[in-house]
Amino acid sequence: MKPTKYKNSKGEPRWMIQAYFGRDIHGKRIMKKRKGYKTQREAIIAYAQLLEERDNQSLSNKNMTVKELYDVWFPIYSKGLEPSTISKVTSYFKNHILSDTKRLKVSELTPPLLQTTLNNWALEAKSGVVWGRYFKKMITYAFFNDLIPSNPFDKVTTPKVINNSRERKIDVFLNSEQLHRFLKYWENKRIIQYAYFRLISYSGMRRGEILALEWSDIDFDKKTVSINKAIGLDYRNGTTKQYVKEPKANSGRKLHLDSTTLGVLKKYKQECEEDVLWPGIHKYMDFNVPERWLQKFKNDPEVDDDLKNVTLHGLRHTHATVIFEQAAINGKAAPLKAVQKRMGHATIEMTLNIYTHVTDNENNLVDELIEKGFS
């Protein structure tokens, strides 16, 4: 924009200039403005200098490496993110993405090069597809800010062949009968262990949610537990720190608890002298403690082999699966919306996609129906 004339607050004539400098992370135009010049000639000279500044920036952008772009983009992108998310994304870039791309010039990234890179990442690890998504976010930022004339990711597709070698086994959850045997084992162990595994199995809480519980969150009279916070992990700077955060996907909720689970918690409360249910060195119990309990369980030669695949997340999975299983056994439709609310899922699709694995009992019901024939 060429110099324009205006009057300042004193009514004196002055000249103003402004120039376009690209877009911010939200796609909003960036305009640099200068004003206060007494003559048009001064404004014209300043305008030429401003355009030269923009051209020099553009030339510098052509030589910008992926690592330099990351250093600009990530502080902006990470604002407002949970520390646990920042830790995870930082790890993706420093351990994987940048190791392959940091010396490449952003202006020289082409669709074929990016497609090959994403395909290789997908074959390298199951999370390789996720690395590609974050890489795309960063390159899209460069495009919105006019650091590159076009977005090469517009012509790149998500890899269809991925590495499933580290994928979890499907059978990490238990059916009703297996859950009974699992809890029977813990019934004869320390009360804190039995209370933990009983509660997570009969509530479907996430690991971070159950660790953050305080006794004030449990209403023994109304038979409910309030989930209003969770424990997160921040493992930046070579250390691991716990912090209290909001439940995932704003999934705060109040759940009904069965009488047996409440009875176990009452018994446990008699020997727990802290405000939190699972006290630890830094107030809350460490994430690894229940993992160690479960690993010791798996190493016990007395434990049935069909129980040894279960994981802590699998016990959350178990809760939803058993609800579906028991509904089917009793000839009722699974209450999907109620299960979604209980599990704290953001969408009903998550409940359907993740928690509708068919158990052996449900398979047997289908087999019986087919054997009897349809009327």
Give the residue from 16, 144, 141, 132 showing the smallest Cα distance to 77: 141
- Domains 66-155 and 176-366 agree in fold: no
Tell me the CATH number of domain 176-366, given options 2.40.50.700, 1.10.443.10, 3.50.50.60, 3.30.565.10. 1.10.443.10
Residue segments in the chain with a per-residue pLDDT below the cut of 50? 25, 59, 167-171, 369-370, 374-375
Per-residue b/e over 172-195, b at no fewer than 16 CB within 10 Å? bbbbeebbeebbebbeeeebbbbb
CATH class of 66-155: mainly alpha
Where are the chain's structural domains?
A: 4-62, 66-155, 176-366
AA identity, residue 94? K
pLDDT at 94: 93
Tokens 């604002």 sit at which residue? 79
pLDDT in tens, 170-228: 447 888 899 999 999 999 999 999 999 999 999 999 999 999 999 999 999 999 999 99
Residues 6+ apart with CB under 8 A from 228: 217, 247, 252
Tokens 């209290």 sit at which residue? 244
Distance CA 99, CA 95 (A): 6
| Residue 218 backbone phi and psi in degrees, to 5 | -105, 125
pLDDT at 16: 93
State the DSSP string of 272-325.
--SSBSSEETBEEPPTHHHHHHHHHHHH-TTS-GGGTT--HHHHHHHHHHHHHH
Token pair listed for 67 = 């690592």
Q: Is 118:133 a contact under the CB 8 Å cutoff?
A: no
pLDDT at 329: 75
pLDDT at 375: 44
pLDDT at 364: 59
pLDDT at 5: 92
Distance CA 349, CA 109 (A): 36
Distance CA 69, CA 21 (A): 17
Token pair listed for 93 = 């870039």
Q: Is 108:122 a contact under the CB 8 Å cutoff?
A: no
